[in-house]
C-alpha cells in the first residue's frame, strides 16, 4: 500500500483536484447543495488549500518587507540626523546659558567695583608638570594685559596673577603657584597675613596665609580676601576658606592653610583686571 501511494501520489492528487473541480461545477448546477462525495473531497483537500493560502500570505509578507526595507532605512537615517541636530542645539543652548550667567555675574561684580577695568579671556592651556601651576589665556599686550594684573572669575574669585605676556597670549601663575605672594585678610577677625604658594601644598591644591599674629583666632571655614596691602593688587577679591591653622616648624610664626574658591582645573573663561582704584 505504501509503495502504491509513493508511486501514484501525484496522480492521486491530480485526480482529487479534478474531482474537486467537477464537484464544484456540479454543485453550481445543483443550486449549491453539495453531495456526500463533495463533502469528503473538501474535507481531504481543505488542509492543502489552507497550507497554500498560508504560504501565499507568508510570501506576500516577505515581499512587503523587502520592498519597504530601503524606505525604513532611509527614515531611520533621517531620524538619526534630526536627533544629532537637536543634540547640537541643546549643547549650544547650554553653553549660551552658561555664558549669560557668567555675564550676569560679571555685571554684579562691576556694580560692586565700578573701578575695575576688565578684559575677558579664554583659558587655552594648563601646566602639565608637577613643578608649577599656571594657565595660558588668550589675551596679551594687544588687549592691554600686563604682567602683575590679577585674574578673576566672573564672580570676583581670585584665579592668579599674570606672570608673562605675549602679543595675544599670557601666562597666569595661579594662586597656589610657588611664586605667588599677595596680602591677605580674614574677614571675620580682620587678621592679616601674606598669601603665598607652597610647593608641598600646591600638590594638594592649597596655599598658605603666613605671618599671622599669635593672637589671631581663626577657625575652619573663615573667608580669606585680598587685603590690597602695598597697593599692588586690588583689595576685596575672594581667595578661599581657611582649612586649618598651624605653627611654623621654627615655632616663631603661625600660618593658615587656605582652600581656594576657584576651581582651577575646570576654568573656561576668566577676566583680567587691567586697572583699579586703590581702596583706602
Residue 158 burial by Cβ neighbours in a 10 Å radius (0-12, 13-18, 19+): buried
The residue range of the domain holding 46 is 1-112
What is the structure's pLDDT at 137?
Answer: 96
Q: Which of 112, 137, 164 is the last residue of a domain?
A: 112
What is the pLDDT at residue 144?
A: 95
In a domain, 280, yes or no: no
Q: Which of 103-117, 176-190, 263-277 has the lowest mean pLDDT?
A: 103-117
Q: What percent of the chain has pLDDT over 90?
A: 42
Placement of cell 573701578 in the chain: 115
Answer yes or no: do 137 and 166 share one domain: yes
Give the burial string for 216-254 (b: 16+ CB within 10 Å, else e).
Answer: bebeeebebbbbbeeeebbbebbbbbbbebeeeeeeeeb
Residue 2's pLDDT band, with cuts at 50, 70 and 90, is very low
Average pLDDT, the chain: 79
**170 and 262 together in one domain:** yes
Tell me the three cell numbers of residue 153: 572669575
pTM of the model: 0.62
Of 4-18, 183-197, 253-267, least confident by mean pLDDT is 4-18
C-alpha to C-alpha distance for 176 and 86, rounded to whole angstroms: 41
Residue that finishes a domain, picked among 84, 112, 140 = 112
Alpha carbon distance 207, 239 (integer Å): 10
Amino acid at each position: 500500500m505504501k509503495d502504491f501511494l509513493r508511486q501514484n501520489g501525484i496522480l492521486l492528487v491530480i485526480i482529487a483536484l479534478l474531482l474537486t473541480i467537477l464537484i464544484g461545477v456540479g454543485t453550481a448546477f445543483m443550486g449549491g447543495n453539495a453531495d456526500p462525495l463533495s463533502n469528503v473531497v473538501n474535507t481531504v483537500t481543505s488542509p492543502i488549500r489552507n497550507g497554500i493560502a498560508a504560504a501565499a500570505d507568508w510570501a506576500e509578507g516577505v515581499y512587503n518587507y523587502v520592498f519597504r526595507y530601503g524606505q525604513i532605512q532611509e527614515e531611520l537615517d533621517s531620524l538619526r540626523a534630526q536627533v544629532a541636530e537637536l543634540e547640537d542645539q541643546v549643547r549650544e543652548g547650554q553653553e549660551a546659558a552658561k555664558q549669560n550667567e557668567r555675564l550676569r555675574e560679571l555685571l554684579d561684580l562691576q556694580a560692586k567695583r565700578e573701578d575695575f577695568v576688565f578684559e575677558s579671556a579664554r583659558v587655552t592651556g594648563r601646566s602639565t608638570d608637577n613643578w608649577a601651576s599656571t594657565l595660558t589665556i588668550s589675551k596679551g599686550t594687544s588687549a592691554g594685559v600686563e604682567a602683575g594684573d590679577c585674574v578673576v572669575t566672573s564672580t570676583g574669585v581670585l584665579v592668579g596673577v599674570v606672570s608673562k605676556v605675549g602679543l595675544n597670549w599670557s601666562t597666569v601663575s595661579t594662586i597656589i603657584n610657588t611664586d605667588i605672594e599677595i596680602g591677605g585678610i580674614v574677614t571675620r577677625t580682620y587678621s592679616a597675613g601674606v598669601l603665598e604658594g607652597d610647593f608641598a601644598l600646591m600638590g594638594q591644591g592649597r596655599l598658605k596665609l603666613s605671618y599671622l599674629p599669635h593672637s589671631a583666632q581663626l577657625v575652619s571655614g573663615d573667608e580669606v580676601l585680598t587685603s590690597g596691602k602695598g597697593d599692588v593688587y586690588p583689595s576685596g577679591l575672594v581667595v578661599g576658606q581657611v582649612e586649618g591653622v598651624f605653627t611654623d616648624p621654627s615655632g616663631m610664626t603661625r600660618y593658615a592653610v587656605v582652600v581656594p574658591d576657584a576651581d582651577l582645573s575646570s576654568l573656561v573663561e576668566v577676566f583680567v583686571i587691567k586697572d583699579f582704584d586703590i581702596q583706602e
